[in-house]
Structure formats: structure tokens, C-alpha cells
Structure 1
Amino acid sequence: MSQNLTIVPPASSSEDRLLFTLDNGLRVVIQEDHFAPVVAIQVWVKAGSADETPDVAGAAHVHEHMIFKGTTRRPVGAIAAEVESSGGQINAFTTADHTVYHLVLASRYFTTGLDIIADAMQHSTFDPHELGKELQVVMEEWKRGEDSPPSRAATELFRLAYTTHPYGRPVIGYRETIEALNRERVLNFYQRWYHPNNMTLVIVGDLEREAARQEVMRLFASEEAVALPGRPRVPEPPQQGLRLSVVDMKVEEFSLYLGFHIPPAEHEDVFALDLLSYILGGGESARLVQTLQADKELVNWISAHAYTPVDPGLFIVAAALEQDKVRPALEEILAALFRCKHTLVSAAELARARANLESDFIYRRETVQGQARQLGYFLTVFSDPDYERHYLDGLAAVTQQDIQRVAQRYFSADTLSLVLLGATSDASLPTVAEVQTLCNRLDTEPAPAPLLWPKDNGRVSSTVLDNGVRLLVKEHHGVPVMALQAVMLGGLLFENESTTGINNLLAGLLTRGSERFSRLELAEAVESLAGSLRGFSGRNSLGLSGSFLTTSHIEDALDLFLDTLLQPTFPTEEVEKRRREVLLALKNREDDLAQTAFDLFYDTLFTAHPYRFLILGSEETVRALQREQLANYYRTLLNPKWLVVSVVGDVETAQVTAYLREALERLPAAATAPPLPPPDPRPMTVRRRHKA
């Protein structure tokens, strides 16, 4: 495949789409998709937390909770009951720039769904009693955020980076502003921004465009346009020096978040910044992941992301790590970032990043919800439903020199904001002066040598091989993607006091090396096909799932999937890395209070059955499990009589079935099979547990 070839086929054409604007200013897009009898309806309101005044921070988010809580025609609770009786789901989310209300339901109930959305947008009553209850819910949500290290660290990063612009305020608001919200203040925000000329209506699914247009006219045309107020957004002045914030939080794990100021969504540098973020932290083969997580084990996880909203954004690197690794991890992160200023990324890295960013658009087309969300975003932010083509052309035009140019332009110590969050009392953490000195050294030293980084649409075809393996294939040619899953009986079901955690350990090791590939080689091969692979385990199963574009050779993707499934080698070095990861996860689990409550619930509900165990296992068993034991157990579970392999997507049933048959029909039966556990005794009394 050419490294500069744009592999994404065009999205639905304008022949499948109807775009129009009502006299009152409401923008409407209707797109047909008849693969499944469902429809997605979304309303994008161009008002988010950045459009609040400081005294009502959190008001936009409260609307997300209240819009569906009663109208002049539907009392409190009626909307939820009506949606559920239609087999649908309704929800909303809030960002700094917009608030989105979304509904998906069976297409035969389209008129009902559209009527609900129209009624909620136009006639919400903001019932005082219901508002009081929802404000309590929001306050509990705020408290959970305060108890979450990633949430606290991200909130602090934005506060640190934005000193005047409202992006510095959290979307949910502050304790004092939430407590100060009342019906008058909430209604004031609604009356300022919730007008048809500030909204976009998106409809995607199994319907006829013209009939849908008539319904839109009937339900939305009567509302009048209203002059919108000015948006209270104070521009952020250029940052003139490095900023550091150390936050003390009594948790086991440290959080390291850093950000550099970058331009907004419409800027020409966004394409190169998105690619750079993927090269640094977007996949298993990304530089930061390989160096800090896989090779040097300095972090528990790490990611990079170019946040490009309507106004100038941030290039963010986030990591979780142990206290004693903060200094070396920070040095490695900054070294990797500044290295991009002095040396070109490789052609292979750029090709992988481009293929994966392009593939994101295809994966979004798999559902009507994904299509609707993409159309809504494009219209709300860029006023262009076909912005996808512009973005893909922008990605295709980016060169290695462009990546270096944006790194040089935006990666500067003077525009760096750094947050370190954790138990600081005994920690040896760098000061602002030390970080500045580190940046000066890493950004001015001679560049090191470049790194070498290592049609039968809809019917399910079912085939049972002679050895018992079951193959399920379903064609769906609407999007050039295929999803694969291999599932075998396993999970907690077969674990006991001495083996608890073995399935979770195995799931994380499936993609760490095979007979043909090392961990890095496999990651590079998968990402070169714009795909993904991951192992999983639960209470009843162990397996491997993946997704790939079908614009590449399908056989190559199937070959990678089968090699990973059938020939994992569980390298000793990777077993020990995985063991350390799980032990850290167990250590840090106490930081998640909600998860602790669930753990206690299962341990109370099941007294003898293995469902009482943690999927992660216990510290004792995870330390004791050995490589040979893992390999033998996996061979036992890889029993053809227990194995189901499914493929759904843009494939030919006969071709895929033949390929899988050839690879799997030689799979031998396991010599022994783990016994199923006896059922747990039925509870006869109330069981209560408490954990301080």
C-alpha cells in the first residue's frame, strides 16, 4: 500500500442526504441508512460551558440533566417511559462548546422519537422539585470527579493552562456554583441559547428523507428565531513561562498531565498535530507507549491527544505512574516531545498514523449514532457536512517535515503547563526551576540518532467444523470494516482460590507475542492495517477481538488474528511485565470507590461460586502464577468444542469461512476440560457487608 494513499472511501453521498435550513434558522440534515431498522436523532445546541458566566458555571451541564425531565405536554418521567416502551435510549452530553441531546430507537417509532426531541427542546418546564433532585445528582457527580485522580488532574491542567478563557473552568462547574444554581439561573441560560437559530438537528437511519422532512417541518417550524447574545469568551493571552502545579491527593498512583497551547479546530496545523499525537501516544507502537510503558516500565499507561475545540486548544500528554518514577518518566516524555523538533519522524510512523486516523471515520459509520454524531459535529463546528473530505485531504498532504514544523512551533517550555497529582508528603518531585532546566537541556542538545521503532447482506452464516469449532459470518457492506471475535468458555467460571486472576493475566498477554511476532512487531503489523487487537476476559469467557479495514488485504488481517489466537508464546519478560501491571492495578483499585462497592457486592452475593472473585485476581495468586501454568491452562481452554469465531463486516462469507476452516479445523481437542463449578446456594436471608 502506498504510504501517501488515502484509503477511506467516500461517506454517504448527497443523494442519500437532505440538508436544509428552516426559516427560523434551524439547520437540519437527514441521511438515509437502511442496514438496520433503527434511527438516530440528535440536536446539537451551540452552547456549552464556555458560554456561561463564571457565577453560573455548570449551568450548561445541568440542562443535560433537565431537558428530558418533563415538558408542558409530558409530566416528569413520561419521556423516559415513552422512550423505553419504544425500545430506545435517550441521553445527552456537554462539552465546552456545545450540548448534545441524542436518541436512538427502532425506526418504526421515528415520529414518536422526533416528537419527544422537539417537545423537550421547545417546552421543557424545569420542574422545581425535579431540578432540586438533579442538582443533588450533579453534586454527587462533582464529588466523584473530585475522588477520581484522572479527573482531578485534567481539571487542574485546564485551570493552569487557561487563566482567562472559560476553557479553564470544568464543564460540571464548581461546588459553590452548583449549590448556587436555581430555577431562575438555569432558565436564564436556556432562554439565552436554546433557540432554533442556535441548533442543528441531525437524523440518520432507516427512513425516507422526504417523509422525515415533512415531520421536521410540522414539529419545528413554528418556533421563532431569537437574536443571540454575545458569547462571554475572554481570549487567552499568550503564555509567557512554564507553569507547574502539584496537587496532593491520598492515592496510590501518581498522575502526570502536561499540555502545550495549540490552535483551534479550523487551523491548518490541526492535521499535522493530530498525526503527531498518534505517533507519540495513539497506539501500542507509539513512541511514548513503547519507550515508557513497554520497554522501561516507567508508567502504568500513557496517551497523547491534540485537543482542538472551537477556540485554541491543548496538546496533552497524560500518564499514570508510581511516585518514584515521576522524575525519570518526565524526562523521557519531554525528551520524546523535543526530539520531534530536531529529527524527522519515520515514513512508516507517519503512514501508520495516517491510516489509523483515516480509519476512525470508517469505524464511526458502523452505527447510525456514529454517523449522526459526526454530521452534527461537522455542521456545528465547521458548517460543512462534508468536512470529512477536507480533513482527509489535509491528512494526506502532511509530510514528515510538517510534523517537525508543528513540533518546533508548539513544543516550547514557555507554553508548557505541568500537573503532578498524588500523595506528595514523601515524594521527591521536581520544582519549576528543575523542570525548566530539564527542558533547556533536552531542547538544545544535539539531536540523537533517529529511533528505530521496532452481498448476502444481513444473513448470519453458521458453520460447525468437524472438531466442533463454530464459525459465524455476517456480511455488512455499508462500511469497509470487519470485526472479528474469538470466544472460548473461560473466565472466572473456571477459577478457584489458587488460580483467581489467571484469565485476566492471559487476556493481557495474548497480544504480547506469538510464534511469528514480538509484541512490537505485532503492534506495528496490526496498526499498518489500520486495525486493532485485544484480549479480553470476564466471568464466563476468554477471547480475542479485533477490527480491521477491508480496503487492505483481508487475508493479512485474518492471518494476524489467527496467529495471535492460536500461537501465543507468553514470553517470560512479557509475563513479568503483565504481572506488574496487574499488581499495580490491584494496588490502585482502592482509589475507585464505586468499583470497591461492586467488588464487595459480588463477594457478598456469591459465597462459594467463583463469581465472588475479582476478575483481576488477588495479589497472592497473581504473584504465584507461572508462565508454564499460564500456557498449559490456555491450551486447555482452546478447546474446539468451546470455541466460537465470528466475523461481521465488509467480507465475502464463502471466502472468510474457507480461510477460517483451513486454519481451525486442525485444532485438536483438549485432553482434559476444567469442571464447571456447582451453583451457589440460593440466599435465604439478607446479607450485609460494610467496608470502611
Structure 2
Amino acid sequence: MSTEFAPLHFPSFDGRVETLPNGLEILVREDPSAPVVSLQGWCRSGSIHEGDWLGAGVSHFLEHMLFKGAGGRDANEIAQTVQAQGGYINAYTSFDRTVYWIDAPSGGAMDCLDVLCDVIGDASIPEDEFENESEVIRREIAMGEDNPDKVLGKLLFRTAYAVHPCRHPVIGHLDLFNQLRRDDLYAYYRARYSPDNLFLVVVGDVDADEIIAKIGDKLGGLARRRRPPVILPVEPPQRGPRREEIVFSTELHRESLAWQIPDALDPDVPAIDLLAGILGNGRSSRLYQAVRERQQLAHSVAAWAYTPAFTGQFGLSIGAEPDKAGAAREAVLREVARIREEGVSEREIEKARRQILTTQFSTFTDMRGQASEIGSNWLLARHPDLTRDYVEAVQLVGCEAVREVAVAYLHPDRMTSVALLPKVAAKPSRSNMAKRSEDIRKVELANGLTVLILPDHRVPFVQASGVFRGGLLAETESTAGMTRLMSRLLTKDTLKRSAEEFALEIESVGGGMGASTGNNSFGVSVHALRPDLERVVDLLGEALLEPAFLAETIEREKTFQLSLIKAEDDRPFSVAMKALRKRLYGTHPYGLEASGTVGSIGALDRGGLVAMHRKLVAGSNGVIGVFGDLDPARAEAMIRSRFEHSLEAGSPVSPVGAFDLPTDYAGTIELAHEKEQAVLLIGFRTVDLTHPDNPALEMIDEACSDMASRLFIRIREELGLAYSVGASRLVGLEPGFLVFYASTAPEKLDLVQQEMLAEIELIVRDGLEPEEFERAKSSWLGREAIHLQSVRELASTATVDELVGLGWDHYRKTPETVRLLTREAVREAAARHLREDNRVIVRLTR
């Protein structure tokens, strides 16, 4: 490792490990740093352990069913118990594990632990839930078949692995899945969820003795069960190249290249991970710079290393236009060959090392991250300090070791390559079906509500979104946080259904619902598959028009929001950003805290929420967007039926210019805290979203925000002064801001400020360098294209743009504006806005 930096040591596991007489293991780490706990139940069973049912997805199906009834509670009672404690419960299934987890305030640890123990140890797998959940998973399988990334991933694993059971998808093959019966699930549960095949991990503000005693009471009496061993075949070495291609309804060529590598415990793994980082992690990586930036052959390119407990894969991913796919593949392979022949530089290895260390240490920043890392380590090696050992090993790897693993494993004759090929344009009927129309239909209802409708028949997916002006612009100091609270309540209880029934109504058909809140707006979106469009529109209407605002739900969500406020106060960057906004905006709504304050949230009541809802959810204040695989006339009729007569017209809120902005705000704010990290923010108030300077400011933001930026290269790479450095913008109906930021050590704060101000002054004086300017434009244009390829993202963008007055087709116009932008326009905008008398500096340190 570079002599400029002392080795970093990952914290050792300082918790308790207990094994009950029945073989169940318990790992507990007390962490009083925040009043939160993460409870995780791990089963050493995943899709590769399914024996006679291999390929049926029984592990994944069982994960769904365990939440349907356990310990005498039904599905609703399980959810209610956890929610009553302010917690969140979920699970996931992989090849070699199934993990159930609950995150909650530590005050609810025991009640939530009671639920978790019941789920893994006393599940009923009710017969009456079997068919409903079967249908949910069938829809999930169908949706996966429409997702190009999932299809490509499945194609890679079934091609790269010849005999190992991970060649089968975790979710299962539909024909095998359809043969499963409830008794098959229950038999699998009885065998695989034996206590000696389970372990629990608990991390948080808890007492280890109490946790261990509680688990002992709940699961200590669980008897070991007869469990025939599952002998997994060893994947033989790959002796020659393999290639598979399938035609898929997509406009982009997607391809993955892969090579066999050893399992997670092999001593070569740290060097392999560094090789992946050098090749394809970030915008300054070899592949990104050579293939995407310089040769412009691909939209996306990345490298990764998959190292499970069995033979892994080193992979390269490419996304390109069809006519550039071959050249992109050749360019990628040239970079691989160059590393095999020439090796890597000390600078490259140091950058990749720091990226890995940052990723590893980030797992320690919250309770779930810690618990997940401990659990994974225990599953792989029965060694909770496996990450600590890995971190030490990564810091000892040299350049030659990286070249050696490239030579040993990335042999061109042992490569697997798989690709999704776009349907040939010469087949007009099928090609026309695959291409997305962008002929959005705009309709104005009698109550003033604007409706946007876009048919997109590429995949059988539909989404309906309702967005309304509001957010911070609808709040005052005494009501701060009300919109965020209200928007979450819109997806809870309604006048017709409980929160659980409401969620089940959409999730039972494989769909979902979410709420969002921003500085200028809030909204609700609902999505599902094509046959459920009517249900989607109806549920959107129910959420927006018929919320119950039950007193007990309000109090529960207020408690949750208060916990968010406390969590924000524990994050140095959030503390600094709040101070910056307060100085820039004073009493203006943009100076408020989105989650509110302890005082404002505590004072909110049902009457205020109902009044705000009545004021904001109004026809003339909103936009409804319905996008997806639909018939426009039928969709319009549904929207009219649901909203035209039941939604009052109201009036638009927060007219532009209605708020006063402070005039005397420039200066420096010094803040103190007890944490090791120092934060520097240099912020400038700018313009509203309709101002012509926006594209130029966007290019400054883009040029200063990635790993190839002048800030990153100078402050982090060349001088090694900061952990993170970049820029960010707030854009809204009122004047926003541009902020440059860095996280550093307290003793380096003055030098970071000096260097950052010098770089800002260079932008003001000289503008962006020609190459930097072109890179920023290309990066912005590419990011926008990738972002808007999904109909869901397009729906979100178009509806919000229409709401704030830019027009739904703003996304069409902006790329041309960016292409025509000049360096001089950027320099002039920098000179107008990045002025000392418009500058606020926030310094947060010890």
C-alpha cells in the first residue's frame, strides 16, 4: 500500500457468539451509537440446495409464504406488529441463503424479535394463501422475462456453469414451479429450517444477554430435524470458449463476458477484486475511459467479480448501439489483453484499493450493513472477522499480483460470452412493436386536471402517477415536514381499506405503490402488469382522493419521521447542508427541513393534514400520467371516470415569486461536532428552473461531479485530501443553488477549502477546458438517455416537467440545448453566479 497512508483496519467483531443445545447459533453485537436495531434470521439454504425440486424456486416461494402466517399471527398481524414498533420487515433469497430481516427502533427490538423467531421457526404456510402467492410469483417470473438485464443474467449463468446448480434461476423455471404444492413447501421448510441450519444476527442498541435469552426462549425448544445432506457438484474447469446469443425486444445490444475464478476464500480474491476495480469501477476506470469516453463505442461498460462459496465468475458488461457492438467488444478485450501484457500502475491499484476500502467500511455505517456483513462472513467461513482479514489482504496486494491473476484467469480461450441481440429492423411488424412511441397525449379535464397518456407496448407494464405542487413551497416553519408525512399517509389506510388491505390489493397482482416528496411537489405512483390497468387507476384514485388519516397511523408515522430527523442529525453532511440552506434562504421555504423539526412534527394533527390534503390535491394543482402497455382511449376514459367529477378544481399553490429571499447572506459558517469527519460546503444561490442559465450551470455540476472531474483529480487523487468530493444542485420553481462539497479529515479542512476555492476561481476565470466541457456534455446526454429508457422514469420526468411549467416535452428539447451550449456561455454563467458576494461556506469539524 502507498506509504502516504497508514493501513486501515476494519473493526473486529466484538460481539457474542452463542450456540444453543439444538445447534442454533446466535451472533449479537451491541452498538449504542443509534437507537436502532437490525434483526436477521439466516437459513443456510437457497436455490442450489433444493434437491429433487432443483430449478423449481422452492426456496424463494417459501420465503414469500413464511410471512403469510407464523406463531399464531396471520399475514396482517405480522406486518402490524412490526409496524407498530416503527419497524420494517423484508427478506431475500439467493443461491446459497435465505435471509429474513427487520430494522426497527431499539425500543421495539423484543417484539420484532418475537416475530422474526416465529417466522423462521414456527411458520404455518397456510393453504388458503398458497394459490394467491403462486400467482404473484408467476407474475414476477413473467416480469423478469421482460427485463433485459435479468434475462441476460440468467443467460450468463446457465452458459457459464455446466453442472453447478446455480445455472438455474433463483426464482425457478415456470414449468417446474407450477408443479409445486403446499405440502412440498412445508416438507422443504421442515427439513431445511432445522435449528442447526439456522443462525440469527442482531446488531444495535440492545443488551446481548436479553437478546440471547429471548431467542433461547423462542427457539431453544426447536428440535433438530432429519436433513439429508445436499452434495453440490463441483464445476469443472472451463476448457474452451462458450457463446450464447438470443434475440430480445430491445433497442440496445447488451453483452456479458465472463471467466471462471475461485471461490470467496481463495487468497487470489483480493487481487481479483482490485483487477475488477481497475478495469471497470467508475468513470475513471480503464474501460470507461477507453471504450465509452475516448472511442465512444458503448453507453455503459463495467467490470465485476462474483465470488460466492463455489466457483465464481469475473465479468465484463457492455451496453452499446447494435452497429457498434462488435467494435465495443474488441475494445474491451484489448484492454484486458493490455493488462495481461503490461500490468497496472501503482496509481491505478491505489485508486481501486481505496474504492474497495470505501465500500467495505460503508457497511459499518448502519446496523443493517453490519448485520449483513457479519451474517455473510459467518455463512461463508463461520468467521465473523472475514471482512477484517479481507481488508488487510487488499492493502497488501501489489501491481504484479494483479497482473498475475489477469494472466491466470482471464484467458481468451476460456471465456464465456452471452448477448441479447435487438430484433432485426428489417422485420417491420415486430420492430415497430418493440420501439417506444413518444407521442404523449395531453388532455385537460373539466376540473383543471392535466392528464398525460403514453402507450408503450414493449413490455406488458403500466404505471399511473399523480403529482401535485406542494413540497416545501406549501409549508411554513410551523408546518415543516407536513407534506412528507401526508404523502406517506396517502399510501396507508383509506376510507375503504386498512393499510394492509390496500397494500395487498396491489401487491397480490405483482404490482407496487409508492409516494414521493420534493422541494416543489409530491405524488403517488402505482404500477402493475397490463391486465391490471383498471386496478392501477382505481388504486391511484383511492390513494389520492380517499385517505383516511387515521389517528393511530398518523402517530405511528410521526414517530417514524422523528426518527428520520434524529438520523439526519447524526450525519455530518446533512447537518452542514441544513446550515447552508438556512443561510442561503432564511425564512424562504427552501430554507426549511424536508422532514421538519421535532417541534413542527410534534405539533401536526389530523385537522392540519386534512386541510393541506384538501388544498393541494386539486385538479388545477396537479398532473396525472398514465404510461405503458395500454390503449390511450380506454386509459383516458378510466381517468375521466375516476377523477373528473370526484376531484375538486381548487387553485394552483405557491405562485412563483411569492416568497422573500434574504439579501445579506454571504459569509462563512463554522459548526462543531464530535465526529472524526470534517465537511466543507461552498454554496452559491442560483436561478429557478425556467432561467436560461440552467444548462450552463448543469454542465458545471456535471464537470465537477464524477471521478474524472477536476475536483476529484486535484483534491482527492493528486493531493489525497478528501474522502469524497463533488458538486450538486437544487433546481426548483424558486431560485436554487449549486454547492461544491468535500468530506475530509479535520486537519486537512483549511487546505481543502483553499484548493476548492482555487478550482472554482479557475472556472469563473477560464470556464471549462475544451475536453472537460465536451466530456460533461457527453456525460449529461448519455445519462439522460439511459435514465429515460424506462417508461417509469419517462412518466416521472414528463409529469413533473408538465406540473412545474416546463411542458411534458421538455426532455425532448433539452438535449439539443445542451448540444448547442458553448464554453463561453458556461464561463459567463459561472461569472454571474459563482461570486464571493453570493457565496456561503459551511465548515463542520471537531
TM-score by length of 1: 0.78
Residue number in structure 2 paired with 1:411: 410
Alignment partners' CA distance in 2, 1:93 and 1:353: 29
Is the contact made by 1:513 and 1:564 (CA closer than 8 Å) also made in structure 2? no
Is the contact made by 2:679 and 2:741 (CA closer than 8 Å) also made in structure 1? yes
Of 524, 527, 541, 2:717 maps to: 524
Deviations 1:85-132 (A, max 9, x none): 222221112221111111111111111111111111112222334343
Is the contact made by 1:579 and 1:623 (CA closer than 8 Å) also made in structure 2? yes
- CA 1:240–1:6: 2 relative to 1, 3 Å: farther
Residue number in structure 1 paired with 2:346: 347
Of 704, 708, 711, 1:510 maps to: 704
Is the contact made by 1:354 and 1:396 (CA closer than 8 Å) also made in structure 2? yes
In the TM superposition, 1:460-479 aligns within 5 A as: 467-468=665-666, 471=669, 475=673, 477=675
Residue number in structure 2 paired with 1:43: 41
SS in 2 for 1:245: strand
Q: Which amino acid aligns with 1:571?
A: E
- CA 1:561–1:385: 2 relative to 1, 3 Å: farther
Q: Which is further off, 557-566 or 335-344? A: 557-566
Residue number in structure 1 paired with 2:118: 119
Q: Which is further off, 89-98 or 561-570? A: 561-570
Long gaps (5+) in structure 1: 428-455, 653-692
Is the contact made by 1:481 and 1:547 (CA closer than 8 Å) also made in structure 2? no
Deviations 1:276-302 (A, max 9, x none): 111111233321122122322222222
Are 1:573 and 2:771 counterparts?
Answer: yes
CA drift of 1:38 comes to: 0.7
In the TM superposition, 1:336-375 aligns within 5 A as: 336-375=335-374
- CA 1:66–1:482: 2 relative to 1, 3 Å: farther
In the TM superposition, 1:582-661 aligns within 5 A as: 582-587=780-785, 591-599=789-797, 601-602=799-800, 606-607=802-803, 609-610=805-806, 618-633=814-829, 651-652=845-846
Alignment partners' CA distance in 2, 1:339 and 1:512: 25
SS in 1 for 2:771: helix
Residue number in structure 2 paired with 1:132: 131
In the TM superposition, 1:389-468 aligns within 5 A as: 389-423=388-422, 425=424, 467-468=665-666
CA drift of 1:200 comes to: 1.9
Of 20, 23, 47, 1:22 maps to: 20
In the TM superposition, 1:315-326 aligns within 5 A as: 315-326=314-325
Residue number in structure 2 paired with 1:11: 11
- CA 1:510–1:358: 2 relative to 1, 3 Å: closer
Deviations 1:649-688 (A, max 9, x none): xx51xxxxxxxxxxxxxxxxxxxxxxxxxxxxxxxxxxxx
In the TM superposition, 1:133-532 aligns within 5 A as: 133-231=132-230, 233-423=232-422, 425=424, 467-468=665-666, 471=669, 475=673, 477=675, 494-495=689-690, 506-511=700-705, 517=710, 524-525=717-718, 531-532=723-724
Q: Which amino acid aligns with 2:689?
A: F
Alignment partners' CA distance in 2, 1:560 and 1:318: 36
CA drift of 1:613 comes to: 6.6
- CA 1:313–1:75: 2 relative to 1, 3 Å: same
Q: Which is further off, 83-92 or 102-111? A: 83-92
CA drift of 1:565 comes to: 6.5
Residue number in structure 2 paired with 1:109: 108
Alignment partners' CA distance in 2, 1:46 and 1:551: 44
CA drift of 1:27 comes to: 1.4
Residue number in structure 1 paired with 2:69: 70
Alignment partners' CA distance in 2, 1:611 and 1:372: 46
What RMSD, in angstroms, separates the aligned Cα atoms of the two structures?
3.7
Deviations 1:606-643 (A, max 9, x none): 55534957679744444444444445556666588998
Q: Which amino acid aligns with 2:119?
A: A
Q: Which is further off, 42-51 or 170-179? A: 170-179
TM-score by length of 2: 0.65
Alignment partners' CA distance in 2, 1:274 and 1:245: 26
Alignment partners' CA distance in 2, 1:577 and 1:376: 42
Is the contact made by 1:263 and 1:311 (CA closer than 8 Å) also made in structure 2? yes
Is the contact made by 1:260 and 1:316 (CA closer than 8 Å) also made in structure 2? yes
Residue number in structure 1 paired with 2:57: 58
- CA 1:458–1:283: 2 relative to 1, 3 Å: closer
Aligned residues: 612
Alignment partners' CA distance in 1, 2:63 and 2:842: 38
Deviations 1:188-210 (A, max 9, x none): 33222112211221111112222
Long gaps (5+) in structure 2: 427-568, 585-663
Q: Which amino acid aligns with 2:723?
A: G
Alignment partners' CA distance in 1, 2:843 and 2:95: 39
Q: Which amino acid aligns with 1:467?
A: Y
- CA 1:537–1:172: 2 relative to 1, 3 Å: farther
Is the contact made by 1:56 and 1:185 (CA closer than 8 Å) also made in structure 2? no
- CA 1:275–1:512: 2 relative to 1, 3 Å: closer
Is the contact made by 1:256 and 1:320 (CA closer than 8 Å) also made in structure 2? yes
Deviations 1:526-560 (A, max 9, x none): 8x568344545566466568675749955566666
Deviations 1:301-339 (A, max 9, x none): 221111100100000111222222222221221121122
Q: Which amino acid aligns with 1:43?
A: G
Alignment partners' CA distance in 1, 2:135 and 2:294: 46
Alignment partners' CA distance in 2, 1:489 and 1:67: 52
Alignment partners' CA distance in 1, 2:389 and 2:185: 38
CA drift of 1:242 comes to: 0.9
Q: Which is further off, 93-102 or 244-253? A: 244-253
- CA 1:630–1:84: 2 relative to 1, 3 Å: farther
Q: What fraction of aligned residue pairs are identical, expressed as a percent?
A: 27
Residue number in structure 1 paired with 2:541: none
Is the contact made by 1:544 and 1:565 (CA closer than 8 Å) also made in structure 2? no
Q: Which amino acid aligns with 1:609?
A: G
Is the contact made by 2:162 and 2:235 (CA closer than 8 Å) also made in structure 1? yes
Deviations 1:557-605 (A, max 9, x none): 66666666776544343443443444445555664233344346546xx
Residue number in structure 2 paired with 1:2: 2
SS in 2 for 1:299: coil
Alignment partners' CA distance in 2, 1:260 and 1:558: 45
- CA 1:89–1:634: 2 relative to 1, 3 Å: farther
- CA 1:333–1:167: 2 relative to 1, 3 Å: same
Alignment partners' CA distance in 2, 1:391 and 1:45: 24
Is the contact made by 1:258 and 1:416 (CA closer than 8 Å) also made in structure 2? yes
SS in 1 for 2:70: coil
Is the contact made by 2:680 and 2:742 (CA closer than 8 Å) also made in structure 1? yes
Of 29, 33, 40, 2:31 maps to: 33
